[in-house]
Structure 1
């Protein structure tokens, strides 16, 4: 059963619709341009403020100021679940950002075209995650034991992330990229912000289309990790959906904010791995011991804060010392000469 009320749904849908309008209409009129640090910082603060303001709307609507101790306790717990879920999703979204950076570097995407790629990437993420959250909520309501599957999966993912934190992925042999190359003719160069263009009289996909497609695939992978993580915090589908969506809305601005600071967060994958192990453990223990929501929030914040502090204090070694982040690849101009076998 969800805590959602018609007012909460109305405000949520209105904010998302307005956000998409700003992205695809207002900001799109700027045309192709490089997003500078100041602009990214302003928009990041705006989206964080909007997300926190919505938590206030939720708390107020659920009776946070009613004077009824039971209603106020319920409102506080729901608001805390939303905030914890938002912070976990926001932290995991940082991983997305550095993978996006790897893609942009590999395909040598000009900075002025990256904004459009991320716009469509965020839209695809919103649609995909909404579908996956609804499926996850149905599975949990129908099969309680699926929570243990989610918990075990998060433990496995956390351990895997820890082990792979210092490994640099090989995008050249990525199966998703190979699949795209086999099925599409790909142009040698970008054609502005277009996804398709004409080359030698044939309609071909531009490298920007390939990047957007790979961003969508990347988000599928990350959604499989992050959505079970938030279900470990709360099984209320509305809180899961809203905290997830608000974390994604600021993803584009956060990318441009953090892209130039990647070396400073070289230990972040380890912190995220510990967070996943923690929420996975919490999910496995749900019928034995219930970890209070406040403790979940404090533990998550402490892990991420400690990771950031250690990243600043401890100097990078190995690949990091060379300026490479675990999730980034060396800049390279990919071969786009591959033609589909069927054409």
Structure 2
């Protein structure tokens, strides 16, 4: 069992909050269109921070925990790329001006961190109290993987999202973005801007991704501290990564299929762990180094195959994938 003291937790959370504050200051106080050099610099910075932390963590707590951290980080990073797809869809659907996309992304990252912190605490408590939660988490991941694979050529229907439709139905919404404000007044009446609706959509998406990503990372480590830092470092680089790769996302045509395979694999790993603990210790478990290797191989194959596909078929376009099919009755 990993023994993490109070000060290690405090310093780690403090580091995450400092990095988050920098993101918040850049996106909220100085709205601007992020160029390729700036996005590249910040992306490299966050990756180096994550790697540097992993090296320190492995040296301090051992190679096994270090491997679990890197496996968890890669899982969360790969899922965050799919998250970027949905962010792009939301930005496009609501025609968010380039100078406000920075702000929306920062909000999305903050909200994702808060939601995942809550789910990490809840998940760790449930796993500690009830070992059958490994079985439930495994079944949830396999179900998600099957649905994602079935609808891998679709995108989430943002406009018909329940939260978005409810907000539009209940609140007065303006047609224009008013200088990046969430609320404004027109003829003395308080109204909400489309930016408010965008943040609601981002929040709903963050919730769905938290429900998937937390069981996934608990599949490679049972340590709440590792789950937290893997999520935190993966999400903190999301803002810069969005501006760096948003023009390349359309080329990752097999990403959703690859993520489905990874989620299914981790789901099987969780079920085997449950069976090993609760049924028969002769049931084999999948070691973390094997999990890390499988995840890396799948991601490499998916990336290479996607680039080959789009090179030979420029009309091929990637999709974020959906957990349910879209029907004509969904339209309003």
| TM-score above 0.5 | yes
Q: Displacement of 1:173 after TM fit?
A: 2.5
Does 1:306 find its partner at 2:301?
A: yes
Whether the aligned pair in 1 keeps the contact of 2:251 and 2:317 (CA below 8 Å) is: no
Whether the aligned pair in 2 keeps the contact of 1:151 and 1:279 (CA below 8 Å) is: yes
Residues in 2 aligned to 1:2 and 1:133: alpha-carbon distance in whole angstroms: 16
Q: Closer, same or farther in 2 for the Cα pair 1:305/1:323, shift >3 Å?
A: closer
Residues in 2 aligned to 1:156 and 1:3: alpha-carbon distance in whole angstroms: 33
Whether the aligned pair in 2 keeps the contact of 1:44 and 1:250 (CA below 8 Å) is: yes
What SS does the aligned partner of 2:246 have? helix
Whether the aligned pair in 2 keeps the contact of 1:2 and 1:237 (CA below 8 Å) is: no
Q: Match for 1:240 among 208, 223, 227?
A: 227
Q: Match for 1:260 among 231, 247, 254?
A: 247
Report the counterpart of residue 209 of structure 2 in structure 1: 222
Residues in 2 aligned to 1:116 and 1:177: alpha-carbon distance in whole angstroms: 19
Q: Displacement of 1:8 after TM fit?
A: 2.9
**Unpaired segments of 5 or more residues in structure 2?**
277-282, 323-331
Q: TM-score, normalised by structure 1?
A: 0.87
Report the counterpart of residue 33 of structure 2 in structure 1: 34
Residues in 2 aligned to 1:82 and 1:173: alpha-carbon distance in whole angstroms: 37
Number of residue pairs the alignment of both structures matches: 315
What SS does the aligned partner of 1:165 have? coil
Q: Displacement of 1:190 after TM fit?
A: 0.1
Residues in 2 aligned to 1:250 and 1:119: alpha-carbon distance in whole angstroms: 10
Report the counterpart of residue 67 of structure 1 in structure 2: none
Report the counterpart of residue 297 of structure 1 in structure 2: 292
Report the counterpart of residue 327 of structure 2 in structure 1: none
Report the counterpart of residue 45 of structure 1 in structure 2: 44
Whether the aligned pair in 2 keeps the contact of 1:234 and 1:240 (CA below 8 Å) is: yes
Report the counterpart of residue 13 of structure 2 in structure 1: 13
Q: Closer, same or farther in 2 for the Cα pair 1:244/1:326, shift >3 Å?
A: closer
Does 1:193 find its partner at 2:180?
A: yes
Residues in 2 aligned to 1:164 and 1:6: alpha-carbon distance in whole angstroms: 44
Alignment of 1:101-140 (within 5 A): 101-140=88-127
Aligned Cα RMSD in Å? Answer: 2.0
